[in-house]
Structure 1
Amino acid sequence: MIDALENWRVRHWSLAGLAFCALMMAVALGLEHLGGLAPCPLCIFQRVAVLAAGAVFAVAAIHDPRGRGGAVPYGLAGLAAVGAGIGLAGRHLWLQSLPADEVPSCGPGLDYMMEVLPLQEVVAMVLNASGECAEISARLLGLSLPGWTLIGFLVLALAPLGLLAGALRRRSGYRWSGGDPRH
């Protein structure tokens, strides 16, 4: 298994990451439009993190740098987007774990906030959360949707980590199984 992954170039890792981002968005949109589950503000921000990671992977796949350090900026940018998604999903799970009397009260809708407030204040308000983000609207195998999203982001983190590991391997010339370090 490591032998096959060792020979993956930037394009391979990026296309795998992009495909997983597309899968995550397809599930989110399917749950919304086919399942009738309206996304809360934190869910929308998690979608933005998926789209940001997908954009990084798309650009990296198109560019496909072959130099020793070419994958590092893409790996770091992808890891930042995925890390933001992990943080948002973790925050969402924390809100859902609060006792009912500690859940923040519901605030205005995200559309309204985006119209009347600066983006910085909207982000701060969403991260401080509203009561609607603490509602558990569905569970699958005992996990709420933010729990599954967190797992999705953890799996997605393999793509930028693969980019960074490949760059490190190429930079050091290290070979796990005798592969060509120039790939």
Structure 2
Amino acid sequence: MISSLFDYFSPRARFFIGFMACAGLLAVGAYLQFVEELEPCPLCISQRLAILATGLIFLAAGLHNRARKIYAVLAAAAALIGASVSARHVWLQHLPPEEVPECSPGLEYVFQNFPLADTIKLMLSGTGECAKIDWTLLGLSIPAWTLFAFLLLATWAGLLWGDSTPHISE
């Protein structure tokens, strides 16, 4: 079924599907932030950046329509980096309360008053607010769903890498 569905779309369209999936994930993040008023923590922001990077790679591949295997590897790498950030986030959420790191000052303060290297370290390692679970669906938190989405995106990129459809200008 997946193979026949995959074969239904042109190689270029398959990359655009990856881009649209990333755009949809970013739209869900915006909805949760601006409508449901759930403030993103540093790890959430890092995951959004990884989704954005993955989506831009898929978009560039669809527009460029050349070097598909290279774009597929880049998209898979970006998705797997995002998956590693999501996995850390899920791990932080499952720590016993006494092992959760301390909360940090707000990101705006950190960006204005800390060196860039410290800010990046904070955004990738997480803080106490990253351990808080504000929302669940079917028993899974947002970072758990994001981890699942990253793994699907990496799998999609892997399928695109293995695609042997000849290049045809569209």
Give the match for residue 16 of structure 1: 17
CA RMSD of aligned residues (A): 1.6
The whole-number CA distance in structure 1 between the counterparts of 2:54 and 2:125 is: 23
Select the structure of larger CA radius of gyration.
Answer: 1
Aligned residue pair count: 166
Structure 1 residues 5, 110: CA separation in 2 closer, same or farther (over 3 Å shift)? same
> What is the Cα deviation at residue 21 of structure 1?
0.4
CA deviations on 1:119-160 (whole Å, 9 max, x unpaired) are 322121233321100001111111111111111112222331
What residue number does 2:112 align with? 115
Separation in 1 of the partners of 2:80 and 2:147? 10
Following the alignment from structure 1 to structure 2, what is the Cα–Cα distance between the partners of residues 63 and 152?
Answer: 25
| 1:1-183 matched pairs, under 5 angstroms | 1=1, 2-6=3-7, 8-65=9-66, 70-166=67-163, 170=164, 181-183=165-167
Measure how far apart 1:5 and its partner are: 2.0
Residue range with higher mean Cα deviation, 123-132 or 19-28: 123-132
Q: Which moved more, 1:42-51 or 1:114-123?
A: 114-123
Deviations 1:34-59 (A, max 9, x none): 11111111001100000001110111
Higher relative contact order (CA 8 A, sep 6+): 1
Equivalent residues of 1:49, 1:84 under 8 A apart: yes
Q: Distance in 2 between matches of 1:4 and 1:93?
A: 32
TM-score (norm 2): 0.90
The unaligned stretches of length 5 or more in structure 1 are 171-180
Residue type of the alignment partner of 1:33: F
> How much does 1:6 deviate?
4.0
CA-CA distance at 1:11 after TM superposition: 1.1
- Identical positions, percent: 40
